[in-house]
Homo-oligomer: A and B are copies of this chain.
Amino acid sequence: MFEQLGLIGCGLMGGSFALAMKKAGLVKRVVGYSKSPSTTDRARQLGVIDVEAPSALLAVAGADIVLVAVPVAATEATLKAIKHLVTPQMLIMDVGSTKADVVQAARRALRDQVGSFVPAHPITGREVSGVEHAEADLYSGRQVILTPTERTFTAQLQKAQDIWTALGSRVTSMSPESHDAAFAAVSHLPHVLAFAMMNSITGQDTGDDFLSLAGPGFRDFTRIAASDPKVWRDILLSNRDELIAQSKLFQQALHTIEQAMQKGDAQALEDMLTLASETRAHWRMGAKRK
């Protein structure tokens, strides 16, 4: 049981964590701060936080657990702003979708205190953002990836694992670099493709007509294109090298399919679609590796 969660960033991810911690009986009070005072105010009205803090530093004052839930590029400034009040007993986590840059930012900002920081990435989200969409069950049944470094305190890592497990998540650990390579492939690139798909259609004169005809396949394929632009701007820039490498591999796979279409090679095309279809049909989200 924690005394005080200092929540920095009261959006979908941060707000949902606060609600989950309260629901699980893991925290006595939540002191929240958001860059926009109206967000912090709404978070308090909605019961997501108990007390509004006028700064990130004041949200951390008296906290034994801190969650940084801001766009990844804002991580370093946020950690610098709270450094004076970080103690060796405190657990600090983030929820960012990239990890190598977050670890570097934490090293620079926290220096000797970096051992208190456990980089975390819960594999969840919604296409809507904002504290009004926060929900206590957002993390339940989902994977959470921790990317501790050699300087992370074992006590903090254990606490982090226990908390996410108590919230119903399945915890996995890996290096920040392995994390970023994997999520370039299975998350960041799909987002880029969905964004590009929308812009390709709206860039055509007949784009509105086309969109009026689109059905459930399009709906699901493009759901992630509605994601928060500032959050995703930071993710794409932060992980750009892995992402562009994955994009090149994807474009090769696309080109192979296009070639079979252009040649009219029905058998080659069917073979490629069968491989994709069977792989996808047998895939289960969150299933343990064979």
Interface residues in chain A, defined as those with a beta carbon under 8 Å from any beta carbon in chain B: 123-125, 127-128, 142-143, 145, 172, 181-183, 185-187, 189-204, 206, 208-230, 232-233, 236-237, 240, 243-244, 246-247, 249-254, 256-258, 261-262, 264, 266, 269-270, 272-277, 279-281, 283, 285-290
Contacts and interface: CB of A to CB of B under 8 A. Distances in A.
A191 to B, nearest CB: 7
Given A225-B277, A281-B226, A195 B236 contact: no
B266 A237 contact: yes
A258 to B, nearest CB: 6
Given A214-B285, A285-B215, A272 B195 contact: yes
Contacts of A216: 123-125, 142, 285
A213 B254 contact: no
A232 to B, nearest CB: 5
Given A187-B215, A258-B247, A273 B197 contact: no
Contacts of A256: 196, 199
A253 B196 contact: yes
A202 B269 contact: no
Contacts of A244: 258, 261-262
A221 B200 contact: no
Given A187-B218, A237-B266, A228 B197 contact: no
Given A198-B279, A229-B273, 11 more contacts: A125-B216, A145-B213, A183-B213, A197-B250, A198-B277, A217-B223, A220-B224, A233-B273, A236-B269, A240-B261, A240-B264
Contacts of A192: 254, 257-258
